[in-house]
Structure 1
Amino acid sequence: MKIAQICPRYSPDIGGVETHVKEISERLVKAGHDVEVITTDPTGQLRKQEIINGVRVIRFRSFAPGNAYYFAPQIYTYLKKHDYDIIHAHSYHAFPAFFASLSRHSGKFVFTPHYHRHGHTAFRDLLHKPYRLFGKIIFSRADSVICVSEYEKKLVESDFEVAAKTVKIPNGINLTEFEGLRQPEKSLNRNAEREKILLYVGRLEEYKGVQYIIQSLPELQDFRLRIIGKGPYEAELRNMAKSSGVEARVEWLKDLSRKELLERYADADIFLMLSSHEAYGITVAEALAAEIPCIVAKGSALEEFVDGRNCIGIENPVSKEKVVRALQDLMENKRRQSKNEQEKVDEKNYGLYSIIDWDEVTQKIITVYESTFNQ
């Protein structure tokens, strides 16, 4: 099949949607499909066309105030000039999917919304209400809708009445990367004297909740925080760390290679993701696969990872006091568990999730493509 993947941003940019599209696109190529990723570059600094691991990537300049919306009507024009068997658009929260939905002609249209229901700031949330009109058009024109969690599926079916064409296919991870990654001496129960490492991996946006981790550090003298990512909230987070007197205990990293990121997972003691809006949570799945205990905010798809042992949840609204209490509870729980009692990572089951490999995810998506194409 000839397949177009439409997304707001693509590698080397990082994020949940970017990872999802990259992982499935490269596997689709290996499976013998012709794949183009059509995306945007608001900076104008990336190559307009290139081939990455067999995937042809086409980038159009976009208008993206505050790293949002990614308005690029050129996507519509380009798609109208080319034929595809499947046009697969990603991300409800930006315009590329809307332009893709308008452009479809002979091919079928598949939509993975990564839907949160709300905007990520107060202003974006205000704009989210009139944007619902565009969203309804996208869903109405979709032949199939793929949701990445049960939480997202319920939101989509409630808000857009598309239950007849929705299917759940969770995100995946590269399971082989995590085999033997964590050495026994790196576990939470060992090296009690050393400073413990708290880890966050993801975009630096206010809704991601990194500020609560920083605010809790003055009461967590045995911990240091490692932040991996970049985004518009970085400057404010840095100022917060400085004003809280914990600047020396916060490490800022970005643009790491995959090998370097895996090494940081291996070093970490506890992973935190306190985001208020998530359709899945790939970095949480990766942390759990790396045998890192996790703390997440409840109220989104992240809650589906909570099992009370490997991953515990914090009730909204999140606060520094709740973060401190959760960290103390998690460490105390782990101290009580003997090695034989601890749940083994090779079971790959956490809360409602069974963590699967991207190979399996891609095969499930191919099945959706084939059934949609033959409708």
Structure 2
Amino acid sequence: MKIAQICPRYFPDIGGVETHVKEISERLVKAGHDVEVITTDPTGRLNKRETINGVKVIRFRSFAPGNAYYFAPQIYCYLKKHKYDVIHAHGYHAFPAFFTSLGKHGGKFIFTPHYHRRGHTAFRNLLHKPYRFLGKLIFSRADSVICVSEYEKKLVESDFKVAAKTVKIPNGINLKEFENLRRPEKSLNRNTGKEKHLLYVGRLEEYKGVQYIIQSLPELHNFQLRIVGKGPYETELRNMAKNLGVEGRVEWLKDLTRKELLKCYADADIFLMLSSYEAYGITVAEALAAGTPCVVAKGSALEEFVDGENCIGIENPVTKEKVAKALREFEKEERKGNSRIDKTIMDWNEVSARIEKQYIQN
């Protein structure tokens, strides 16, 4: 089959949608399909056309103020001139999916919204209300809607009345990477006198909640924080750490190799993801697979990881006090994480196979 994957950004950009599209596209190529990723580059610095691991990548310049929207009507024009057996659009919260719904002709149209219901800032949230009318068009034209969690599926069905079209196929991880990952023997007991290492992996945006981890550090004298990622909120987070006098206890990393990132997961005592809006939570799944206990914010798909043992949840609204309390509970109960991978976490090979099945179903 000739397959087009349309998304706001693609590798080397990082994020949940970017990871999802990359993982399934490369596997679809290995399965014998001709795959094109049609995406945007607001910077104009990346190659307009290239092939990455067998996947043809086409990038159009986009208008993306504040790293949002990714307005690129060129996608509509391109799709009008080319035919595909399957067009798979990703991301409700940016314009490429909308232009896809207008430009697609013939073939099957699959939509994975990665839907949060709300915008990531007050201004973006305000724009969500008029955008809902455009969003309904995407859902109405889609032959199938793939949701990555039960939480997202319920939101989509409630807001767009498309229960007959929806199917749940979770995000995945590369399970083999974690089979022989060596994790140091650790204990979170406060009496060991050793420093405890906190980890956050993801984009640096306000809605991700990294600020609450930094704000809790003055109350947690034996904790260090490692932040892996980049984004528009980085400068403010760095200034916050400096003003609170904890900049010496925060390590900032970005553009790590996969091997380096896996080591970060294994070396951490606790992984935190306090995001307000998540359709799944790939980094939480990876941390759990690495045997690292997690603290997440409730109220989104992250809550589906909470089991009270390897992953505990913080009620919204998240505050520095709630974060400090949760971390002290981890110390008190001496959680060491689970060395066995949760059976509910799916491998990308299975995810890709399930999506491929959606492509060929009538």
Whether the 8 Å CA contact 1:186–1:266 is kept in 2: the answer is no
Matched, 1:368 2:358: yes
Residue in 2 that maps onto 1:199? 199
Q: C-alpha displacement at 1:334, in angstroms?
A: 2.4
Kindly indicate whether the alpha-carbon contact (under 8 Å) linking 1:16 and 1:281 is maintained by their aligned counterparts in 2.
Answer: yes
**How big is each residue's C-alpha offset from its partner over 1:93-138, in whole Å with a ceiling of 9 and x where there is no partner?**
0000000111111111000000000000000000011010110000
TM-score, with length taken from structure 2: 0.98
> 1: CA distance between counterparts of 2:269 and 2:253?
17
Give the secondary structure class of the aligned counterpart of 1:140: helix
Letter in 1 for 2:353: Q
For residue 250 of structure 2, what is the aligned residue in structure 1?
250
Check 1:365–1:263 CA distance in 2 against 1; reply closer, same or farther (3 A cut): same
* Distance in structure 2 (CA, Å) of the matches to 1:220 and 1:345: 29
Alignment partner, residue 277 of structure 1: 277
Secondary structure of the corresponding residue to residue 346 of structure 2: coil
Tell me, in whole angstroms, the C-alpha distance in 2 between the residues paired with 1:8 and 1:233: 19
- Maintained 8 Å contact 1:186/1:267: no
In the alignment, the residues of structure 2 paired with residue 261 and residue 192 of structure 1 have an alpha-carbon distance, to the nearest angstrom, of: 26
Cα distance in 2, alignment partners of residues 355 and 290 from structure 1:
12
Q: Partner letter of residue 350 of structure 2?
A: E
Question: Structure 1 residues 15, 191: closer, same or farther in 2, change over 3 A?
Answer: farther
Give 5+ residue unaligned stretches, structure 2. none
1:188 to partner: Cα distance? 4.2
Offset of residue 180 of structure 1: 2.5
Aligned to 1:179: 179
Aligned residues: percent identity? 80
Change (3 A) 1:243 1:158: same
Range with bigger deviation, 263-272 or 206-215: 263-272
> Secondary structure of the equivalent of 2:224?
strand
Q: Secondary structure at the match of 2:9?
A: coil
Query: Contact between 2:146 and 2:168, CA under 8 Å: does it hold in 1?
Result: yes
C-alpha distance in 1 between matches for 2:338 and 2:110: 38
2:348 maps to 358
Q: Aligned partners of 2:150, 2:325: CA distance in 1, in Å?
A: 29
Equivalences, count: 362
CA distance in 2, matches of 1:192, 1:311: 22
Find the residue that maps to 2:110 and give its secondary structure. Answer: strand
Matches of 1:254 and 1:106 in 2, distance apart? 41
**5+ long unaligned stretches in structure 1:** none
Q: Equivalents in 1 of 2:192, 2:23: separation in Å? A: 37
Contact 2:290 2:339 in 1 (8 A): no
Q: Say what the alpha-carbon RMSD is for the aligned residues.
A: 1.4
TM-score of the pair, normalised by structure 1: 0.94
> In the TM superposition, what is the alpha-carbon distance from 1:186 to its structure 2 partner?
4.3
Q: Deviations over 1:20-67 (max 9, x none)?
A: 000000000000000000000000000000000000000000000000
